Amino acid sequence: MSIGKKIKQLRELRNFTQTYVAKELSMSLSGYSKIERDETDVTINRLNSIAKVLETDVATILSFDSKQIFNQYNNQAATANGVVQNQQIIADQSVKDFFSKMTDDIAVLKNEINSLKERK
């Protein structure tokens, strides 16, 4: 699997938009999109920056295999009905905390959207 595809899948697992990641990297949306489509080479410095935004490390990006993650998730014996987040399986007792954080993140994003709308 290509680096761009791995970055895209990790971004999607984090539920980040391309716009958000591009903004965090201080680059254009089209420039970031080219990274995910493997239309441009990624320097190690840029890869480090992407890893930081995705809250992971370069080794995780390079070794990422979505088939392994989802196969573990779908295997009831292996996951005990867990939830996948950032390549980790969260046990049922942590699901409430996970969704609480996601709710907080959504609220922050809604505030950012409203702020951007007001600037127009």
Burial 41-76 (b: 16+ CB within 10 A, else e): ebeeeebebbbebbebeeeebeebebeebeeeeeee
Structure tokens at 60: 């995780």
| Cα(105)–Cα(98) distance, integer angstroms | 11
- pLDDT tens for each residue of 51-85: 999 998 898 888 887 666 655 444 444 444 444 44
Tell me, what amino acid is at 94?
S
pTM: 0.57
- pLDDT tens for each residue of 3-49: 999 999 999 988 999 999 999 999 999 999 999 999 999 999 999 99
Residue 81: predicted pLDDT:
42
Superfamily of structural domain 1-64: lambda repressor-like DNA-binding domains (1.10.260.40)
Instruction: Give the CA-trace dihedral at 112, 57, 63, 10, to 10 degrees.
Output: -10
**Domain ranges across the chain:** 1-64, 66-120
